[in-house]
Amino acid sequence: MAREDIEFTAQGATMRGWFYPADDSSGEAPCVVLSHGFSAVKEMWLDHYAEVFQAAGLSCLVYDHPGFGASDPLPGTPRQEIDPWQQIRCTQHAITYAQSRPDVNADRIGLWGTSYSASHAFVVAATDHRVKAVVTQVPAISGTASFTSQIRIDHWAPTDAAFAGERLARMSGAAPTMMPVVTEDPAGHAALGHRDSYEWFTTHADRAPTWRNELTVQSVEFVRGYDIQHWIPLISPTPLLMIVAPHDRVTDGQIALAAYETALQPKKLVPIPGGHFDSYTGPNFDTTSQAARDWFLEHLPTGH
């Protein structure tokens, strides 16, 4: 399928990604903006979602978050640092870029987020009314809950001390301290401590050579303070589809189900079997991609 490399400026840095044009030369095609979750890059299956949407007549903009994959870090920010509020602002810049294209209908913009970027999609949809439909897949709802589930309890006090020490060191001009995203060692120290996180990232790293198994320590501190529950009721009247794995141990599917109940209409819930990473591959890919496609087609109709 047709795809072009694109770049756009966001707060003084260059974001890079792909644009999938719909087969519509009139400029009437809706556009879905997609970005990935915690430390992941666009090659980790986002192309497959974009191809499904494109085949249905939707243009797609897929990009890497600042400082990850092909995108530059924002000025004054190191690579491999996950600041959720920076990523939210860059999502809004991506929407602006999509609207600026002559082959996109600026009034029909959809937003698709997965895992950590699903959290961002809630916030953007609640505050940026350029978004006309939103899909969140296996969303992270509570950074507090994620922190307590991903960081072993005997590591909490040392982690607090590391956060404080890291802030002092960086204020003094030291380079950021890095830590692994995942680890094979069940007793090891990593941002995502579950075995299924390690298996997914390392299994799919071969198709994503820009992915790096590291991030800044401060990224994990940012996670703990990032709770987005109160944004969800504010999304209405923008149509919201939530795709949730009830048995998800990475972002806690039960918290996501409870969060869905707080959303106002129009909304729809699609539960899927398996764990967090099962949403991207196998039979669940057909379920998740087609449910999202149909939601966008319903609320961002193609054609004139």
Distances (CA, A) of 181 to 51, 71, 212, 238: 28, 19, 8, 34
Percentage of residues of the chain with pLDDT beyond 90: 84
Question: What is the structure's pLDDT at 27?
Answer: 72
User: Do 125 and 131 form a contact (C-beta atoms < 8 A)?
Assistant: yes
Mean per-residue pLDDT of the chain: 94
Dihedral of the alpha carbons of 165, 168, 174, 178, in degrees to the nearest 10: 40
The torsion angles phi and psi of 237, rounded to 5 degrees, stand at -95, 10
Could you give the maximum distance between any two Cα atoms of the chain, in Å? 59
* Residue 117: how many other CB atoms lie within 10 Å: 27
> Mean pLDDT over residues 118-138, rounded?
98
Taking 60 as the threshold, does the pLDDT of residue 203 lie above it?
A: yes
The DSSP code sequence of 139-191 is ---BHHHHHHHHS-GGGHHHHHHHHHHHHHHHHTTPPPPEE-S--S-TTS--S
Q: Which residue has the tokens 């644009």?
A: 19
Percentage of residues of the chain with pLDDT beyond 70: 98
End-to-end CA separation in angstroms for the chain: 23
Taking 60 as the threshold, does the pLDDT of residue 304 lie above it?
A: no
User: Do 94 and 63 form a contact (C-beta atoms < 8 A)?
Assistant: yes
Binning pLDDT at 50, 70 and 90, where does residue 303 land? Answer: low
Question: What is the structure's pLDDT at 231?
Answer: 98
Q: Is 1 exposed, middle or buried (0-12, 13-18, 19+ CB in 10 A)?
A: exposed
> Mean pLDDT over residues 254-262, rounded?
97
Say if residue 180 is preceded by a cis peptide, omega within 30 of 0: no
Q: Of 40-44, 194-198, 258-262, 268-272, where does mean pLDDT reach its minimum?
A: 194-198
pTM: 0.95
d(CA 300, CA 106) in angstroms, rounded, equals 11
Domains and their CATH numbers in the chain: 4-148+227-299 (3.40.50.1820)
Question: What is the structure's pLDDT at 25?
Answer: 59
Residue 154, amino acid: D
d(CA 111, CA 107) in angstroms, rounded, equals 13
Question: What is the structure's pLDDT at 205?
Answer: 82
User: Do 292 and 49 form a contact (C-beta atoms < 8 A)?
Assistant: yes
